[in-house]
Structure formats: structure tokens, C-alpha cells
A and B are shown apart, each in its own frame.
Chain A
């Protein structure tokens, strides 16, 4: 049977992907350029008995999502840069309390109100370092309408599997672009649900490390009564200031992602096997980069594209290897130098690093990338 296809906007595809993943709760606040995610959820969620709530502010939206997730719901919010800044407080809460949820960030310029209707990629470091304190981060960066769908599904899977907030970052261009999308059949994409407790309620500890680095999670109202707090806590969920508990819990929460990077990491490489110049680009800019690679190859320049789909954890090993293989890595992003810092960090001077940044609300075009590649010595 032919697959269902549609011409769909990126933000709409995000909402459809969330529904496919089993999302039943959306808590949000209007903000350009992400609002269509909320609008579609407000129409579609009640049809399946799910809940949509427009909260009084961005922080409240994040709070409602965490509250809903604690009852067992797969919960979503969607926002943009300024909204993410506000949500950081409770993204940190979701990290420490280990509450699965998905945050969509349709990136615009900044800081502050910036250029609400223009595209940007300046929240990519915020996705890692935005909330205070040490914590693991998972963030993905789709580059097409189809991929927004599949990466939103994957974001829910990762949130449920690793019991943590996962951010989906795409720039306004991808968010507002309309493209053909093929809807996966039910069951075609893997759907992961959080691991519930296997012990009786009286033995349940919400952060029990006996089951590995991702403790089983009970739902509020299921008969398993437990305590959730933003304070440093012991494995029983209650606050502690005992150094050994605090240290062990903090390290476990980072290790649970670090140790599973192979499962979380996802990249696309195009003509990198023999590339002398690797272009590092993500989101809409990776589309300009792919075009540039084709043109450069025609001109006899061995160019390739590395496109991280998972931004965090950063693909350290692969970039380090490419840094040894290539003469240069050219990083192109709609900010003034964010992921390039990671590329510099992991290549440790093994190759030339060139940077193209743009923050004027216009995308980086293939010509700009080609010019920069031609400068490589």
C-alpha cells in the first residue's frame, strides 16, 4: 500500500511526529517561530483524548510538562530562544529529577527578542550549557520536514529511554519550510516507553541504581508513592547533602548519557571518505553545504559534508578522526561561533579550522561556503 504523503510545514511535522511517538500532553506558550507546533497540538491532542494547555508563561509551560510527565504522560513543549532562556530553570529540574520530556526549540536570532521571524542557530550551546549546574544533555537537529518528524519521534524515545529532557533544535527555515513528507506506518518506527518498576511499591526507590544508570520510573497515582525534588538527593529520592551520595548521583546522571553515546549519536556523512575539506553544518545550512560539496567536486576539489543530527552529546570521536584525515574542517552555522568551539576542541589542532558565521537573518548560501573552502591552503 502506498504510504500517506503530504506537503507539510516543519512545525506541523513536529506535532505529527510527537503524536506518532505517543505524546498525550502539550504545555506551551505562544512564541514565534514555533507557535504552529502548539496550534496543531491543540487541535490534534483532544481528538485522541490527550491534553493541550496554554500556560501563563514559558516557565509554567515547562512546569506543566514535567508535572504531566510524572503521571506517566509523554509530554511536549515547543518554544524558541527567549522561551528556552526562561525554561532553563526547569530544564535543570527535569535533568536532576530525571523526568522524560521533549522541548522543541525553533531557533531564531538573539540575544533577547532579537529577530523573531528570522532564522538562527545561536541556541546550540544553550542546549548544552543553558541551565546551571553539571548535567548531561541530549539535543538533536533535523534538517528537513521529514527529519523533523523522525527526530521528534527519536527525541521522545531518547527521553523515555534515558529518563531526561531532550531538546529538538531546528532553525526557523526548516520549521516554516513546506516539503513532501511520507508518514511512517504505525509500528514502522520504533517507539520506546520508559521502564517501569519491577519491584513492589514498598521496595521502590525512584533512583535505584540496582537497575543500572537509568532507574525505573513509576507514575504518580500508580500506587508507587515517592518523592521528587530539585535538591541533590540520594537513591531513595529524598534530599541529602552527604558528599558521597551527591557525588555518586551527579556522576551517574552524566554517565548514563556518556556511556551510551553510540546509541544516541546520529550523523550523516556525504562524500567524506576521501574528503580533504570537510564542511561541518547542521539544520538548514547543511542543505547549502551539500550543494556546495557537489559544486566543489565538479571543480575537482575533494569536499565532503559532515552533518551532526545529534548535536549533544557531540560526535567527538568521528570529528577527531576527520580532523586527522582532512586538511581542513569548515564550520558553517548561523551564529558567531558555537559548534565550531567543539570542533576545535576535539580536533586538537590536527587540521585547519575555518569558520563561516552569519547572524543577519539570512541563511548561509552555497557560494559563501565554496568561497571559504577555496581559501583552504
Chain B
């Protein structure tokens, strides 16, 4: 039987704002399947976002949903989780929202290792505002504010998350649709900060300017650049040039923030 997404979607809130060919819908469906697999109670789950195309997701899904200000999702989510640790907290948002204006909140949520799942939709552009370059836009690429080619170096979000202290970091692409939910499931089950980076495409604001003739071309590129971690281990540096690793990139068991704070409470109460 086909999966019933309607169980998790708010009636009357579709169609979504995403353009035809946008990968965000694929990522959202992956998230919904993952939540279903984990059996999360809708009333005990918060979905928090910032601003941008991806951040519109919470409006479509039937949970406790919090569409915050630009970049601030992780900080709002930290407040929710600290105040009510029994809630499942999932953050969604784009690359610009999460790593530019929200970069500080992102790295500190990773550092605390607070138990939340952050799914970052990396389409390497600011789509909603019309295609300005983000910290994840490839160097040399064309954006509406880099019409001579992007002079900026790029962030590797997964490396950033690992470096900042996230204890579960995984990456996949919108092409690898079935892997999205598998990785999010692992992230939700992981106790601590889980970051799942989903590389996807923005045909409207990125593809058109950067000589992708169709959405299919963009999807083909995602397929071509993705190399599973296990396969990459057998490849040379030369062969890995221009590729991105996919799958679980990092996993570690470390004390989780709310559990650590529970110890603070116990100590303050003289236990």
C-alpha cells in the first residue's frame, strides 16, 4: 500500500510555495516517512524552522510548528527542548538560514550536543529572495549578487557540524530519496545533536543561471557527485575530486545537554 502522507499534512495548506522541480518536497516527504517510521507522537513533536523556502515546511505539517526568524531556528528549538526535554524537536531550514545568519546558533547547538534533529536542505542558494549566493554556493558560480562569478569559498556543512561537536552527522541528496528517511530515522533515534544535510536543487534561482538545462540535469549532477562513505574509502584523492561523501559521516556517543542539565538540577537540589 502506498504511504499515507495525509496523516501528517495539514488539510488545506497545500499547495506548497516550492517551485516545480525543487528538491524540498522530496526532502519533506523523506522527513515525514522518517517520523512515521520512528512512530513519533505528533502532539509531542515540535518542528522548528527559520526563514527561507525550506523554512516554510512547518506550515504544511501537523505538529507543534514554529516558524521563527531568519537564522534563529536552532536557538528557539534549544529553548523548547530545554523547557520540555520530553518533546521531540526537529529543525528544518536551508543552507543560508542555517550557516550564514544562523551560523552561530547552528554551531552552538552542535557544541551543546542537545538532543534535536536538524535537517538542513542545502540547495546552495538563497532561493526565496531571488538567487543570491549563500555560504554553500560553489566558488565561481553565478548568483544574482555574483554575476561575475562567486569569489567566496564555501562551507562544508557536514564538516562544520562535526567540527562544532554534533554527534551524528549524515549527508545525502534529493536524488537518493529513500536514503533521506533512513538517515533521518537514525538521526531521530540518536541521543544528541543530529545533523542531516540533504543536498538538493533550486532550478529557479540556481539552475537557470548556472547552465543546468533542466531539473533532470540537476538531479543527474546530484547522482554523479554522491559517493557513499564505504565506496569512498577505496577511492583515490584524485577520484574523489569534486565528489561529496554520503551516508553516515560521523557518529559518537557523548553526554547529551538536557541530561547534563538534569545533573545540574540534581546537584542544586542537594542530591
Contact = CB atoms under 8 A, between A and B. Distances in A.
- Interface majority SS on A: helix, strand, loop or mixed? mixed
Interface stretch (B74-82, B138-146, B193-201): B74-82
B216 interface: no
Interface residues of B, number: 40
B264 interface: yes
A27 B105 CA distance: 14
Contact of B79 (A47, A65, A222): A65
A90 interface: yes
Contacts of A64: 75-76, 78-79, 82
B264 A75 contact: no
Interface in B33-47: 42-44, 46
A177 interface: no
Interface stretch (B60-68, B173-181, B224-232): B60-68
B110 to A, nearest CB: 11
A75 to B, nearest CB: 7
Nearest to A228: B66
Interface residues of A, number: 44
Contact of A60 (B62, B84, B104): B104
Contacts of A61: 75
Contacts of A55: 75, 78, 108
A251 interface: no
A78 to B, nearest CB: 15
A258 to B, nearest CB: 26
A68 B79 contact: yes
The residue among B62, B67, B269 with the most chain A CB atoms within 10 A of its own CB is B67
Contacts of B72: 59-60, 63, 89-90
Given A56-B108, A64-B76, A70-B80, A229 B67 contact: yes
Contacts of A230: 67-69
B86 A221 contact: yes
B65 A228 contact: yes
Contacts of B14: none
A46 B75 contact: no
Nearest to B89: A67
A297 interface: no
A225 B82 contact: no
Contact of A228 (B44, B67, B75, B264): B67
Contacts of A90: 69, 72
Nearest to B111: A56
A221 B82 contact: no
B135 interface: no
Interface in A68-114: 68-73, 75, 89-90, 93
- Interface majority SS on B: helix, strand, loop or mixed? helix
A189 interface: no
A194 interface: no
Nearest to B58: A227
B125 to A, nearest CB: 22
Interface in B222-271: 261, 264-265, 267-269
The residue among A53, A55, A64, A69 with the most chain B CB atoms within 10 A of its own CB is A64
B2 interface: no
Contact of A25 (B67, B79, B107): B79
A88 B95 CA distance: 24
B127 interface: no
Contacts of B188: none
Interface string A217-234: 000111111111111000
Contacts of A229: 59, 67
A49 interface: yes
Contacts of B13: 238
A225 B63 contact: yes
Given A43-B268, A47-B269, A55-B75, A63 B59 contact: no
Given A70-B66, A239-B59, A46 B82 contact: no
The residue among A47, A71, A93, A220 with the most chain B CB atoms within 10 A of its own CB is A220
B64 A226 contact: yes
Contacts of B80: 67-68, 70-71, 220
A63 B68 contact: yes
Contacts of A205: none
B1 interface: no
A307 interface: no
Contacts of B77: 67
A225 to B, nearest CB: 6
The residue among A53, A60, A68, A89 with the most chain B CB atoms within 10 A of its own CB is A60
A63 B79 contact: yes
Interface string A158-190: 000000000000000000000000000000000
A227 B13 CA distance: 12
Contacts of B58: 227
Interface in A196-255: 220-231, 238-239
Interface in B84-127: 84, 86-87, 104-105, 107-108
A65 B80 CA distance: 9
Contact of A51 (B63, B75, B82, B267): B82
Interface of A: 24-25, 27, 43, 46-47, 49, 51, 53, 55-57, 59-61, 63-73, 75, 89-90, 93, 220-231, 238-239
Given A63-B69, A221-B86, A227-B67, 10 more contacts: A46-B261, A46-B268, A55-B108, A59-B72, A63-B72, A68-B82, A220-B64, A221-B64, A221-B87, A225-B42
| 10 pairs of A and B residues whose beta carbons are closest in the complex | A67-B79, A64-B79, A63-B75, A46-B268, A68-B83, A60-B75, A56-B108, A229-B67, A67-B80, A67-B76
14 contacts: A51-B82, A53-B261, A63-B69, A64-B75, A66-B79, A70-B80, A71-B83, A90-B72, A221-B84, A224-B43, A225-B62, A227-B59, A228-B65, A238-B59
